[in-house]
Amino acid sequence: MSGKFIVIYGANNLGKTIQTRLLTKKFIDDGENILLVKYPIYTLKPTGPKINKILRDPSEKDRNIKEYDFQKLYTQNRYDFQSTLKLLLSSGFTVLAEDYLGTGIAWGVTNSIKNDGEDEKNITKLINKFENLNKGLLKPDIAILLDGERFLSGIEKKHRNEDRGNSVWDLNRRVYKKLAERYSWKSVKANQSIESVHNDIWKIILKSN
């Protein structure tokens, strides 16, 4: 029997990492075969190391790359892992991912507006543009959006997407919420206790079985 592909989405600094770790432990405790993946996969050459350098090294020559070109690297990274993803699922593994193609669409739209001068009035057009870039990628069986106010303690200094003003983060959150409506993602309030967020996510997963 094929495994489930589950994705946890949300703007940065909302506790996605701790929630995916808790979910992984829950699946293991329940005797499930599970693999936790965090996109992009930085170890996957050639795109992973390149993406990581652009995100985290202010001296990187491509730091100010046009967003569409940057998202091409992310899309290729996802495509390059897709055969492994399909093999795992067909072997009965549950694959739990922190971020995926919806992340690319959300940040593609956000940075096209904030960095490349696109008009925020064109959000729907931009969503279509980055959606088309990700055509052919496997769709998740379950997609869950963590939504809430960011945890400032989680901001990574010098990170291309995180270490910026609140207006960037707020726009990114709005785009994610639009995507949740468009793709019928389930939403969980991220500003509850860690345990409450985990329990809400688990309820969604159980209902989908």
Place of tokens 């005797």: 31
CATH number at residue 18: 3.40.50.300
User: Domain containing 49: what range?
Assistant: 5-208
Place of tokens 């496997």: 138
Determine the Cα–Cα distance for residues 2 and 204; give it in Å rounded to an integer: 19
Q: What is the pTM of this model?
A: 0.92
Q: Is the pLDDT of residue 87 over 90?
A: yes
Count of domains forming the chain = 1
The 10s digit of each residue's pLDDT in 46-78 is: 999 999 999 999 999 999 999 999 999 999 999
Mean pLDDT of the chain: 93
Determine the Cα–Cα distance for residues 72 and 75; give it in Å rounded to an integer: 5
List for the chain the helix, strand, coil content (%; round to 5): 55, 10, 35
